[in-house]
Structure 1
Amino acid sequence: MKPRPDLLDERSPQGLEVFQLTTEPDVPSSHLYMEAQIFTMDSKRFVLHRSATAHGGSKSDPKHQYLRCDLDDGGSLHPLTEELGATAASVSPDGRYLYYFVDETQVGGGRLTLKRVGLDGSDRQTVAVVDSALPGSSYRPSHLYPLSTISSDGKRIALSCFLGDGNTEGAPWGLMVFDLATAAVQLLTHGQSWCNMHPQYCRSQDPEECRDILIQENHDNTADARGSVTRLVGGDGADIHVIRDDGTDFRNLPWGRDGNEHCQGHQCWRGRSTWAVASTGTSQPPEAQLIEGRPCPHTGHVGAKTPGGTRNDLSRDFANPHFYHFGTDIAGTRFLTDAGPLDRTATLHVADFGEPGRDPLHNWKYLLCPRSSCDKTAHIHPFLSPDGTTGFFNSDESGVLQAYMVRGL
């Protein structure tokens, strides 16, 4: 890894260190998405990818690979995949395996393969193959979401996809759950409004709570018969739900859809807790706030107006908040976020959580300006190591998108 002290400025805290983890001059590299489960729990190793943008790689790109980064070995990089179409990687909670999918699907057909490989690159195995209709349906998966999510007990992995046949207008999107012991797959939920799910298993280690999946519903979206999205969301916007991974206990998060607040589409669990955080946009005041909440009974798609919903404005002590992308440590005590405007002046900040549901974020600390263009392919997408001591972000400040690390938080 390459030291980058030039990315620090006079506002950066003493002792902060910045490193560029990827350095190929003609191949863009990126971290996976903020909530992706890509770290070993000792915070020493994680997975990123080359020949990728901030929102994933291309299934037809032979250069796209997932790489293991060893932070205790100077950030050395080690290829873990070679297959064309490798996507949606997740590291198992015990840190032993990388699970990923090989996308050979096409609308209405093709093949989807779930694989695993040891994080040392050994013992590659095929776990499951989907080359026919999903059980109990006539649907075939395609247009895979570039992120999977794995349960904290390591027993199940979920992935969202398009379910159309290429001819039917208004075809659904859905969420698949794979049982890693039996290789069985279940279509958990489906419908036209599930085109951008951001599925995230709750990381609680409670045997019941770890069955919950955070999902995003994009109301009034439009797509053609082949799954090309022409409008991502409309009307009062998206809302966020939780569903148990057997398809039951559908709940609301109290965010958005009240005529003033809308969900940006960035949310995550607060560490291993059952609290979650979302970035929102409000018309009055014109801000992008951070709102904490807990799942509550579904009473319609009413968002912030959900009866009994608990809301906590985490950003209320930060002047003129404009927050977009963020992550927490596994304990749910530390928080790393970008702050707008989303251009080359966007900045990184770290803060501490207080009591869930009550306290605002505190101990705010400016870190640095990543100098990224912040266009869609080069979003900063900051996140923390599980132990909360190290932060990670993307930037194209060099002219090519690369992955970075900031140490000494």
Structure 2
Amino acid sequence: MLPDMTEILIIGAGPTGMALSIALHQANVDHVLIEKLAHGLQTSRAGVIHAQTLESLEPLGVTQRLSELSVKLEDFAIRDRNRALLKLDFCKLPSRHPYLMMLPQNLTEQVFAERISALGGTIHREVEAVAVAQDSVGARVTVVQNGQEKIISARYVVGADGMQSLVRKSTGIEFDGAAYDGSFVLADVRLDWPAGPTEVSLFFAPAGLVVVAPLPDGSYRVVATMDEAPEKPDVADIQALLDSRGPTRNKARVLGIGWSSRFRLHHRLVRAYRKDRLFLMGDAAHVHSPAGGQGMNTGIIDAVVLGQLLGDVVNGVRSEAELDLYETLRRPAAQEVLDLAGRMTDMALARNPVKRFLRNLALSVVDLSPFLKRRIALKLSGLSRAPLARLPAPSAMPGAVEASKSETGPKLKLAA
């Protein structure tokens, strides 16, 4: 049963909302997690969990179970049809998780939901938030459950409610950016795949990009650009994408489809992560190309950082003013991710023969440099952004952290 009041109301029970709920449970903070959908995802969507995300999740008690369900890969390659342009080895990452963890999003959500249940929590499903308002003493969210309206009062409200976020719209915060031309295809397929289940492969071709990544059940995740994709691509559609963009020797053969979808691609970032008592995280705050598999990972780390902060503030460990650290840390991280995904997408979508030649040449040169390859691996794994997920000790405030504003958002400065 929904309460009338709570310390924190989380709207949206995707991976970010559930990760925040776990963090708050562990901090013994009263909160309510609502979700308008009746069930969790039945399709896989996001498929990779990176090293930094796994390190951030360790305190939440879910990493071991995620590991048991996943397949771990050490190799990532960018190819132009048959030619390997750049090969990265993740086994040398400075992390307890030196690999790419491949796990469908529906299983990630299942693990998070089981953890919430083990902690005595509840996901209130089929509850839709329809209005959000706030004043100097709290926030009020109007929800609909079983056709009945109810108002829940909360000290803070967190929007983990996706790109069309009601919470973001309620704040009036601008969501700067635009949509890419065309569409993307996402599918989990059974493949006769010559490369085998050993690496994540990103193929460049004049027709566009295609990514092929092994999944734990022996199927493969396929992500590809497509100018006018059908709503649910079929075997013939996926086969045509692999024929026109994948290897020309030892061609792939699509044996069947588990599920498929089409989606439009945006690159957007909010101007602020907070307005008074309302907070944004995950896709409500940032959306971008799937290149590099950064979206869900960035949102989960948003949740872990915000969970630590809210837990400390509610428990009296930090002052309320320190909630500004959330934006100070996480907005620059999201900006870096948008820039990384954007560069990878722009490279992949190059159609001009001269640009493609120069791109391939540049990547081949990078492939000769262990230093540059390590830097790229650190960026893809998220480990290069680890300082933007690390809170200073409460005793260090104020004075240890200054937020300086710029056109690209606040940047963290640690005092000497």
Task: Classify the TM-score, shorter chain.
Answer: under 0.3
Structure index of larger Rg: 2
Higher helix fraction: Structure 1 or Structure 2?
2
Bigger proportion of residues as strand = 1
- The TM-score normalised by the length of structure 2 is 0.23
Higher relative contact order (CA 8 A, sep 6+): 2
